[in-house]
Structure 1
Amino acid sequence: MTYMKDKKLFSLLLAAIFIILSWSFKFFDYKVVANILMLASAVVSGYNILKSALLSLKYKIISINLLVSIAAIGAIIIGEYWEAAAVTFLFSLGGFLESYTLQKTRNALKYLIDMAPKIAHVVKNGTVEDVPADDVKVKDIVAVKSGEKIPVDGFVVKGNASVNQSAITGESMPVDVSVGSFVYSGAINENGYIEVETVNSGEDTTFSKILYLVEEAQGEKAPTQKFIERFSKYYTPSVIIASIIAFLIKRDLMMALTFLVIACPGALVISTPISVVSAIGNAAKHGVIIKGGEYLENLGKVNIIAFDKTGTLTEGKPFVVNIISSGANRDELLKIAKSLEVKSEHPIAKAITSYSIDEEIFDVDDFAVVTGEGVKGKINGDTYYAGNRKLMANNGINIDCIRDYMEKEEELGRTPVVVAKNYSAIGLISISDKVKGSSIDAIKELKKLGIKKTVMLTGDNERTAKQVKQQLDLDEYFSELLPDEKLKILKSLKKEGIVAMVGDGVNDAPSLAYADIGVSMGLSGTDVANDVSNITLTDDNLEKLAFAVDLNRTTLKNMKQNIYFSVFVVFVLLLGVIYGEVFLASGMFVHEASVFIVTLNAMRLMKYKGRFK
């Protein structure tokens, strides 16, 4: 890439020198030498243009390079060497500047690549061995000194440090880590010493996955970009035909050649892709991974957002706040609940199993998870249940003894887990999950951005859902939902507008895939949720969603500005050609200037920080 860039720059400088020398010899009335030098300039700067044009023709593609080549050769044939040199030089200069500025927009990707750790200090038998970061194995202990990049994902097993995780989360403030903390590859140890037990290394690290997604996304095309490329495919040959017709009518070869070059849709073709690349790069630096131009454009059109509750709007770290027993003592109730829940992966199950300090559990036979309801199994011949109202109702279980307690807990915004034996409830365990502070701010920001409806879809009980809805000032909520019921609601919402779904669990995957835009939580989200989603928030901060919506809407405006400006410039120039006011060299200069202006306008997106900063 650097070699090609240097080669293009050398050709441009050589062509420019030939032009300057030509004008100098012309001033002293050495016209033959001046013409030879101008012709040399046209050859030097036009060689790659003609080569590219012929290569495109080989694949039956009529490119803009062909139009410029025809114009330059035509100008040479009729003895207009200055026009030939000017059009090839300006087109090459425009291409060089376009390539340079486009490369600047990819700095986010280059930044991520540069951030990737290359070496790991692996601790083995009391000694430290330096190995390539990609060669570190799971369970290896890696030492990270102050100022070094963490080369693996893993848990801190020794030491303390202040770690900058901005490459992963988009947050510039360092976080303090100690034994038990999880750290990410690509993060920088700003102060301290830690040893990390490897969980993921090489291509499996969170950082590597982010790098892959950004690289893949910048190659994806937005719908507008695809349309413009299809338009250009038919427009370019139409220009050649129009130029021939113009020549036949006017009998003015120079005017026809000028028309040919001026009508090139150069600025129009570059108008959309450079905006898309700039926006995706900026989003990545702010902790938002957009997996392609199509999703970038569609998110800007979203006007309804549906949220999962647990782990998305709330912390996703539920904890036990109350235990009420009826028909069993407190310790026995906990032991039964833990025995049932230990086989479940649900966050509520983890809250119960981590709360109980009794390491002994009962053997459970015929264990089953009832999706959206709870769990059940047999202990010593009796059937036990742990779950919500729906599980109890569907199995004919009497909950009268704890009904009043349940309602009080639900009114407090808590989730009561009923524990039952055979056909009667024997107690309940109340679970609470705090609403994220970022969720409150994010909902406010999204409403300011014009999102007309915010909806919560949850499997939790009605009273808990209602309290969370009120706390966040959501427009609507649906409770006690199964995954297929969430899909039905999304189907209904899609009749009202463009819908985004935000979630983090396996149960959210169908909804994330079905929505117009699926948004997953990068840290707490399951692999399935992250795989099916179109956008990932790397640090689970919903305010980043508001930033993404804001950025994407700004990107849509930017793309429209570029398209309208490009079309306007071509229209004005063509009028100038028809009325004899615009000539080949001057027209080419304005044409290439428009390409440069469009590029600079798109690059503004790289610095956009959002309206709420």
Structure 2
Amino acid sequence: MPHLLIIAGGMITYAGIRWYRRSKIEKTSNADEDMLTPKSKTEQVVPENQQLSEMNYAINTVHQDFTVASISFALATVAPLFYSPLSLASAFGVSYNTTPIWQKGYDSVFEHKQLNGPVAYSVLVGSFLLTNHFFMAALINWLFYLSKRFLFLFKESFQKSLVGFLVATEPPDSVWLRKNGVEIETSLDSLKAGDIIVVNAGKMIPVDGFITEGMASIDQSLLTGAADSEPLEKKAGAHVFAFTYVLSGQIYIKVKKWGRETYAAKMAAMYS
């Protein structure tokens, strides 16, 4: 019995730490997305390692989330047989896993007026928790994160095969550079850090940088490899990456890196 209590206590501590770190990272990410273009020439764009962290945050949490889901399911399974209060530890783990989904479900209903997967999942798991059906809540939670783990494994395979695509696909030879209020066509190789280029709907973004003007829906799935990746709405201050696509809108981008120095090029080099 004591060893079960130790496991439960350890899981609660671990989940609590992860919960705190997740909320801290999400707040940082949201602040970065909403920040305005730097006003001073001496101000720096967010460091590259932070950009990469933001891009891969969802991937890096898959293992931890699955671990919490597995322990929660195990505790819910043994609780009726050995020590019923372990069900509360299981419920805590399920709540930790489900909190981001509850938030998405809330936003879908009250902000977007939509009924979708997160809403259904939130109602289902929430109902089981409120009616003390902890085993069913933990089972559904575990199956959900098991599927996410399989998607992650698929993503790794996808990213490795993506290397060939990134190597074979060339960015556009020319870009539209805004200079002295006029847009002129110039070669990609002639760009320098700090230049402002314009990218329209249907075009590939050829550089890493941040948006100075405009708003656009951007598809980053080629970089993230996430099967459930949705286009991101980005506005002034948000970072953008080469080999992503503008689905709609028009944006002006302040160039930071291009060519072999871009995130996509470095990712290709890492997997090759």
Q: Which TM bucket (shorter chain)?
A: 0.3 to 0.5
Structure 2 length normalisation: TM-score?
0.39
Structure showing greater relative contact order (alpha-carbon pairs closer than 8 Å, 6 or more residues apart)? 2
Determine which structure has more spread, i.e. the larger CA radius of gyration: 1
